[in-house]
Amino acid sequence: MDLADLYRDVIVDHNRSPRNFGVLEQADRTAEGFNPLCGDALTVYLELDGDRIRKAGFEGQGCAISVASASLMTEELAGLPIEECRELFARVHNMLTSDEVAEDVTSLGKLAALQGVRAYPSRVKCASLCWHTVMAALDKQSTPVSTE
Amino acid sequence: MSVHTPLVESDAARDLTGLRADFPALAQQVNGHPLIYLDSAATSQKPACVIDAIAEYYRKDNANVHRGVHELSERATRAYEGARDRLQRFIGAPSRREIVFTRGTTDAINLVAQSFVRPRIKPGDEILISGLEHHSNIVPWQLVCEQTGAKLRVATLDDRGDVPLEAVTALLSDRTRILAVSHVSNALGTVNPVREMIAAARDRNVPVLLDGAQALPHMPVDVKALDCDFYALSAHKMFGPTGVGALYGREALLAEMPPYQGGGDMISMVSFEETRYNELPYKFEAGTPNIAGVVGFGRAIEYLEAIGMAAISEYEHALLEYALDVLAEVPGLRFIGRPGHRAGVVSFVLDGIHPHDLGTIVNAEGIAIRTGHHCAMPVMSHFKVPATARASLALYNNREDIRRLASALVRAREVLA
C-alpha cells in the first residue's frame, strides 16, 4: 500500500489551496452534500449560462480527498455544457469504483489524480460526494445529498 | 488459556503484555507492519480460547436449547445456562432470573425502552439522558417519545467532557420516567459518576439504566453495589463474539414488564385463545438464541476472571496515562475531552489533517484507529468538530503500541504537507 498513490501531489496541493472555495453570490443553483460517516459537509454553487456551467464553486469541510476532489471538479466544470458535465460524472464515477481497468484515465486530465482512491473503498465516498452534489444541484433536488 | 506469570513493572501496574499472545488476530502483519490494534472500543479482538469454545460447541455440542431430551440438547443447554450463571456472578446480579441474553447493548436498551418505559409513560413525561450518549442510548428513547408524546431531556456535558452531577440532578423531576446514561463514554472515555447519579435518581424514585458497553472490558462492575435498575452490555466489546449481549434487570421490574418479542422459548403454553408467558428470564428470549455466541461469551468472562478485572483496570489506567503523556508531545495534537475520570479511550484531532486522512495514513503503517463521529454526533457538535481520531485500549495493548502511534502521527503531517 503506497500512500503516495492516494495522496498525489495534485491532491495535496488542492487540499492545501482549494480552488473556487467560497460562496458564489450569483449562483443559479446550489445543493448541499453530507457524508454522515465522517462528518464531511459541502455546498456546491453553480452559475449557469443557458445550458452551460459558467462557474462552479464550493465551501465546506472535509478530508483531503473530498476537498481536493471538489476543488479539481470546480475547475473542470467551468465552461462545460451541462450534458457533458453528466457524462464527466459518469466517467469519474467509473474511475473511482470500477474493478475493471477503466478507460484511459489520462483523458480525464487532472481528475485522473483521483484514480488512487479506487484502492481505498472506504474513501470512494469522500471523492464522489461533490459530484453527487453537483448532480443534485442540476436536478434542482431540494433535500441534501447524503452518501448513506 | 496459557498461564501468565505476573511481572511487576516500575509503575507498579501488573504487566499484562504477555496476554497479547492469547489473541491470534494480533499476530499478523498489516501493510508490511506488525498490526497495532487501537480500536477495541469499536470491537475487541478475541482470545483463542473464545474462538475455540465456539468451534468446539459447533463440533461437538450443537443442538437447540431448552427443548430436547437428547444428550446434545442437554449439553447445549448446560453450556448456555452456564454462561448465564457466570455472567450473573461476574456483574454481581442477585439472581440468574435477572440476566436476559440479547443481541447486544442496543437490543437491551430497546427492550427496556419498549417493554418497561413505553407502557408507563404519558404525554409530557420525560426521559433523561446525557449529552455523552452513543446513538444507541439516544434513538431508542426518541422512538418512545414519538410513540407516546413524552419529552427527551439531555444533561449537557461540560468543556472537559464530563457530565456534572448537577446537570443531571437539575433535570430530574417528578415527570422523569427513566434516567439512561452511559457508564463509560465510547467517544471520550469519560467515566460518569454513576453512583451519585443513581443515588440522586433514587431520591426521586426514578429508575436508572446504565449503558455498560464500554465499562465492562475495563473495570470491575457490580450492579448490586451500583444499585442500578438495568445494565446493558455487549459481549464483543469484552473479548466475546459479536451479536450477543445481555440485559441485567431488577427482578421485580422484569416481572412486571410485558414481553419484548413473541415467539418460541418465551412461552409456557400457547393456544389460539390464550398464551401464557415463560418465567424469567426466558420471557424475554424469544426464538432460538445465539447459543454459540453465548457459549463464547461465557468463555470470554472466564478469561477475564482468570486475569482479574482489578488487575486489568490498574494496568490499563497506567497505559492510558502513558498514552496521554506521549501523545501530548505530538506537534499540533489537541485532545478532545479531558474528563476527570477516564477509561480506555483517547480522542484527538491533529491540526491541518482531517481525522479520515489520519486513519488512512496510520493504517499504511499497520495501525488501526477509529476516525469519525463514533456514533456520538451530539458529542462532536459539543466540541465543534466534525469528527475525531480515537485510540482505544484493551488489556493486550502496551507502551510500544502507543509509541508507534505517536511516531506515525508525527509522520502523518509530512504526507499532507
Reported as a single tens digit per residue, the pLDDT across B9-34 is 444 455 687 899 999 999 999 999 99
At A85, list the grid cell.
458535465
How many of the other CB atoms lie within 10 Å of CB of B90? 22
Matching residue, cell 491541518: B352
Q: Is B49 a catalytic residue?
A: no
Query: In A, which residues are within 8 Å of B356 by CB distance?
Result: 38, 40, 62-63, 65, 123, 126
Contact at CB, B360 and A41, closer than 8 angstroms: no
Q: What is the mean pLDDT of chain B?
A: 94
What does the pLDDT average to over B166-180? 98
Matching residue, cell 457508564: B183
Q: How would you label B50-76 residue by residue, b for 16+ Cβ within 10 Å and e otherwise? A: bbebbebbeeebebbbbeeeeeebebb
**Helix, strand, or coil here: B230?**
strand
Q: What confidence score (pLDDT) does residue B373 get?
A: 86
Share of chain B above pLDDT 90, in %: 87
**Helix, strand, or coil here: A66?**
helix
Dist. CA B156–CA A34, nearest whole Å? 26
**Helix, strand, or coil here: A22?**
coil
Whether the bond into B281 is cis, omega within 30 of 0 = yes
Query: In B, which residues are within 8 Å of A12 by CB distance?
Result: 415-417
B6: pLDDT strictly greater than 70? no
B356/A contact by beta carbon, under 8 A: yes
What does the pLDDT average to over B227-238? 98
Matching residue, cell 436476559: B100
Q: What confidence score (pLDDT) does residue B9 get?
A: 42
Contact at CB, A15 and B415, closer than 8 angstroms: no
Matching residue, cell 416481572: B255
Backbone φ/ψ region at B265: left (φ over 0), alpha (ψ -120 to 50), beta: left
Contact at CB, B416 and A64, closer than 8 angstroms: yes
Dist. CA B119–CA B113, nearest whole Å? 9
Dist. CA B94–CA B106, nearest whole Å? 23
Contact at CB, B380 and A40, closer than 8 angstroms: no
Residue among A63, A68, A64, A71 at smallest CA distance from A20:
A71
Smallest CA–CA separation between B415 and chain A, in Å? Answer: 7
A12/B contact by beta carbon, under 8 A: yes
Decide: A57 and A21 in contact? Cβ < 8 Å.
yes
Q: What confidence score (pLDDT) does residue B7 get?
A: 41
Smallest CA–CA separation between B236 and chain A, in Å? Answer: 22
Contact at CB, B416 and A15, closer than 8 angstroms: yes
Q: What is the DSSP letter of B12?
A: S
Residues (pLDDT < 50) of chain A are none
B2: pLDDT strictly greater than 60? no
Tell me which chain B residue has its CA closest to the CA of residue A9.
Answer: B416
Q: What confidence score (pLDDT) does residue B14 get?
A: 58
> How crowded is the C-beta side of B164, counted as CA atoms within 13 Å?
8
Contact at CB, B356 and A16, closer than 8 angstroms: no
Query: In B, which residues are within 8 Å of A16 by CB distance?
Result: 416
A104 burial level (CB within 10 Å; 0-12, 13-18, 19+)? exposed
Query: In A, which residues are within 8 Å of B31 by CB distance?
Result: 1
B75/A contact by beta carbon, under 8 A: no
Dist. CA B39–CA B342, nearest whole Å? 16
Q: Dihedral sign for Cα B56, B59, B64, B68, please.
A: negative
What does the pLDDT average to over B127-153? 97
CA separation, residue B60 to residues A146, B257, B347 (Å) = 47, 37, 44
**Helix, strand, or coil here: A18?**
coil
Tell me which chain A residue has its CA closest to the CA of residue B356.
Answer: A63
**Helix, strand, or coil here: B190?**
strand
Residue among B304, B227, B270 at smallest CA distance from B50:
B304
At A110, list the grid cell.
487532472
Nearest Cβ partner for A1 among B31, B353, B417: B31
Reported as a single tens digit per residue, the pLDDT across B247-256 is 999 999 999 9
| Amino acid present at A118 | R
Residues with Cβ within 8 Å of residue B363, at least 6 apart in sequence = A1, B30, B31
Contacts with B, A 111-140, CB within 8 Å: 120, 123, 126
Contacts with B, A 77-96, CB within 8 Å: none
At A79, list the grid cell.
465552461
Q: How would you label A130-140 residue by residue, b for 16+ Cβ within 10 Å and e otherwise? A: bbbbbbbbbee
Decide: A66 and A127 in contact? Cβ < 8 Å.
yes
Strands B126-130 and B151-155: parallel
Residue among B140, B133, B106 at smallest CA distance from B376:
B133
Contact at CB, A39 and B364, closer than 8 angstroms: no
Angle subtended at Cα B364 by Cα B360 and Cα B368, rounded to the nearest 5 degrees:
65
Interface size A-B, in CB pairs within 8 Å, comes to 58
String of DSSP letters for B258-292: PPSS-STTSEEEE-SS-EEEPPTTGGG--SS--HH
Decide: B297 and B235 in contact? Cβ < 8 Å.
yes
Q: What confidence score (pLDDT) does residue B52 get?
A: 98
Decide: B177 and B205 in contact? Cβ < 8 Å.
no
A10/B contact by beta carbon, under 8 A: no
At B261, list the grid cell.
418479542
Contact at CB, A126 and B360, closer than 8 angstroms: no
Query: In A, which residues are within 8 Å of B372 by CB distance?
Result: 37-39
CA separation, residue B22 to residues B48, B105, B239, B310 (Å) = 6, 26, 11, 19
Dist. CA B382–CA B157, nearest whole Å? 8
String of DSSP letters for B348-375: EEETTB-HHHHHHHHHTTTEE-EEE-TT
Dist. CA B107–CA B100, nearest whole Å? 11
Query: In B, which residues are within 8 Å of A6 by CB distance?
Result: 360
Dist. CA B317–CA B219, nearest whole Å? 10
Which of A14, A38, A118 would you mutate first to test chain B, the one with the most B CBs within 10 A? Answer: A38
Q: What is the 3-state secondary structure (H, E, C) of B100-115?
A: EEECCHHHHHHHHHHH
Query: Which pTM does this prediction carry?
Result: 0.93
The phi, psi pair for A32, rounded to 5°, reads -110, 140
